[in-house]
Amino acid sequence: MKLGIIGCGAIGTDVAMATDEMEEIDEIYLYDVVEEKAMELASKLKKAKFMHVEEFIPKVDIVFEAASQKAVREYAEKVLEQGKNLIIMTIGTLFDDEFREHLIDVAKRHGAKIYLPSGAVAGIDGIKAASMAGIDEVTLVTTKSPESLGRHLSRRTILFEGNAREAVKQFPKNINVAACLSLAGIGFDRTKVKIVADPVVKFNSHKVLAHGKFGRLRAEVENLPNPNNPKSSYLASLSAIALIKKIVSPLQIGV
């Protein structure tokens, strides 16, 4: 399988390095708006080379995005129109219902699939399964250091409390987990989100609470920040790597 990667920041780098070791991956094409960053990363890998997105789309089987909402809007449709599968890491872009449904329609018409990694949150499989019977309520409580949220605070502060749609709008770089959780469950408008900045925490914490006909679900994970980007949890990179491994594997585990 041939893989294209858009975005060579912390997550893109983690994915590139991991897939470079996967025997199922034959070639890797890298692109970043800072071209030198992609070129430098490519020079460290065995299977990778730098190439512009429009050039590598026809060559690859799947494209992995780990760049920005702007990148998703610029390239997602182009990828799907050529029948290529797409992994979107910047899931918050999909809070725009019209844009999301348009991409789904394009994917259907061209026989492509859109994959959304679970990211830094736990419990997505449970939420997806529970949604088959109906979920009454889903709440996400995210706690991070003030610095990772772009703030300088000396005490624990609730920065946001509302629905997932507004959370993604106000914290587009920090709360992709809310977007993934919303799409897996009861939507952006019904999913409740609380974002807390706490100067004493050493981990990025995500707690999911849900109840419905299935019963009750409580899932909590305390993530170490990615060493190359404290705004991102390392588990987010690992979820993307696990998803690619699942795609290329004949054994499928989980919902």
Element (H, E) at 66: none
3-class SS of residue 89: coil
DSSP 96: S
Contacts of residue 133, defined as CB under 8 A and 6 or more positions apart, other chains included, come to 212, 213, 214
DSSP 91: G
DSSP 117: -
Count of C-beta atoms within a 10 Å radius of residue 100: 19
Is 152 annotated in the active site?
Answer: no
Catalytic pick among 110, 152, 206, 211? 206
Give the largest CA-CA distance in the chain: 52
Phi–psi pair at 211, nearest 5 degrees:
-150, 155
Contacts of residue 62, defined as CB under 8 A and 6 or more positions apart, other chains included, come to 1, 2, 3, 4, 84, 85, 86, 87, 244, 247
Residues with a known catalytic role: 206
